[in-house]
Structure 1
């Protein structure tokens, strides 16, 4: 595990974007998965600038969904797809045929899981996986108690996730379920980049890097991955051991 601590959020975001750019240059047809949420927004900003300036070509990449709120899709403000559309896919001009996202409004969500698993298998594995971490340690929607041997699945959201979800929506929504890649996908990914910022993430990052590996804190499983880069700002790293 490689740890990088930057002075502030923008420096961390710039470093993260540069890592992703270099990985895409190394393998131009990478299968890429990037979390939505607030933490990656700065990374997306720097990635978009690089694409628009011609510093990296993403035309051969394929982009897949990490997770989505059940009952939402890209037409819903606050959905994971809408966030990525607004902040990355559309500004970069990504071809729709190269975006493979969960349709979480489908009646048959198991079919969505199977379709995503088959897509990843057809590529061998995820090449570049950008993850954030929840306040409860979740990765995607792999909530506390999630199995480490699972692929794509539908889950009931943890109470903490439901509470935090309010910040993503302009109107009140009662989200109960999520669809997500499984932890086994994450462990099989070629390169994982985990990002966190702010004092609010200091406690969970201390557990993530120094705590016991347990599915009660899913992020701890990344201690077992052979190629993880952890990018933090100084506040998020403030409780880590020297």
Structure 2
């Protein structure tokens, strides 16, 4: 369940290889995508290798985990903007098959219901990428979110707003709500890869390791998934017990 690699670039190399193998096996795969600094080296390496290996991504369908309410697609801190910057504008994705929640949607409830329905209609997510927040959230599913949740509107916790505040000019600009894929939507993915890197993730990874599968720790749902990997670099693994992680380089 817990695996380690030395540094973020090694993780980026491994995840990229996994993604490309999936695409070569299933060119019309459905990918669940995440944002944030943890994903940046992964997307950078993925773009590099897709171009180098001439991998066709035009048949892929993608669903992003979340979006801030109140930010339009062209806002520099929106996840639409992030995805265009780090992935979609760099490769030949089919725009009509890249899905993200709309932060300016007038009918949020209808959009939430439709988003989860679209995933089911696409055949479900083949591989879901996840990061993890310092309070254990995945997507924007804060502690206490029901495991049975579908796409929904969430009030962001103060800790999440503080963590994300570094991307905004002031805390007043940090959104207070977001649309997020639900924990049930995430759990239904055929495969899950959760990535954590850096010393700032060491404590939450130790908490996750010791936590039971409990709604107080949203990311703990991944531990119940039959085909999930939790990948950490040496810094994020610093507080884990000895032997808790299997080095990925030893895998066949």
TM-score interval, normalised by the smaller of the two chains: over 0.9
Shift of residue 54 of structure 1? 3.4
Q: Is the aligned partner of 1:195 residue 2:186?
A: no
Partner Cα separation in structure 1 for residue 56 and residue 20 of structure 2: 9
Partner Cα separation in structure 2 for residue 68 and residue 134 of structure 1: 15
Partner Cα separation in structure 2 for residue 232 and residue 156 of structure 1: 28
Instruction: Report the 3-state secondary structure (helix = DSSP H, G, I; strand = E; otherwise coil) of the residue aligned with 1:92.
Output: coil
Q: Is the 8 A contact 1:24 1:58 kept in 2?
A: yes
Of 221-230 and 207-216, deviating more is 207-216
Partner Cα separation in structure 1 for residue 68 and residue 212 of structure 2: 29
Shift of residue 169 of structure 1? 2.7
Q: Which runs of 5+ in 1 are unaligned?
A: none
The equivalences for 1:202-217 within 5 A come to: 202-217=202-217
Aligned counterpart, 2:246? none
Deviations 1:63-107 (A, max 9, x none): 112100111132000111111110001001312111111111012
Q: Is the aligned partner of 1:240 residue 2:233?
A: no
Deviations 1:152-172 (A, max 9, x none): 000111111111121223565
Partner Cα separation in structure 1 for residue 169 and residue 10 of structure 2: 29
Deviations 1:172-229 (A, max 9, x none): 5131101000000111100100001011111111122232221111111111000111
Q: Is the 8 A contact 2:145 2:215 kept in 1?
A: yes
Q: Is the 8 A contact 1:16 1:231 kept in 2?
A: no
Aligned counterpart, 2:124? 125
Aligned counterpart, 2:100? 101
Aligned counterpart, 1:63? 62
Q: Is the 8 A contact 1:110 1:153 kept in 2?
A: yes
Shift of residue 55 of structure 1? 4.2
Partner Cα separation in structure 2 for residue 171 and residue 46 of structure 1: 32
Partner Cα separation in structure 2 for residue 210 and residue 27 of structure 1: 36
Aligned counterpart, 1:24? 23
Aligned counterpart, 1:161? 160
Shift of residue 56 of structure 1? 2.3
Aligned counterpart, 2:184? 184
Partner Cα separation in structure 2 for residue 164 and residue 205 of structure 1: 16
Instruction: Report the 3-state secondary structure (helix = DSSP H, G, I; strand = E; otherwise coil) of the residue aligned with 1:47.
Output: helix
Q: Is the 8 A contact 2:59 2:94 kept in 1?
A: no
Number of equivalenced pairs: 241
Shift of residue 124 of structure 1? 2.5
Partner Cα separation in structure 1 for residue 88 and residue 209 of structure 2: 31
Q: Which runs of 5+ in 2 are unaligned?
A: 244-252
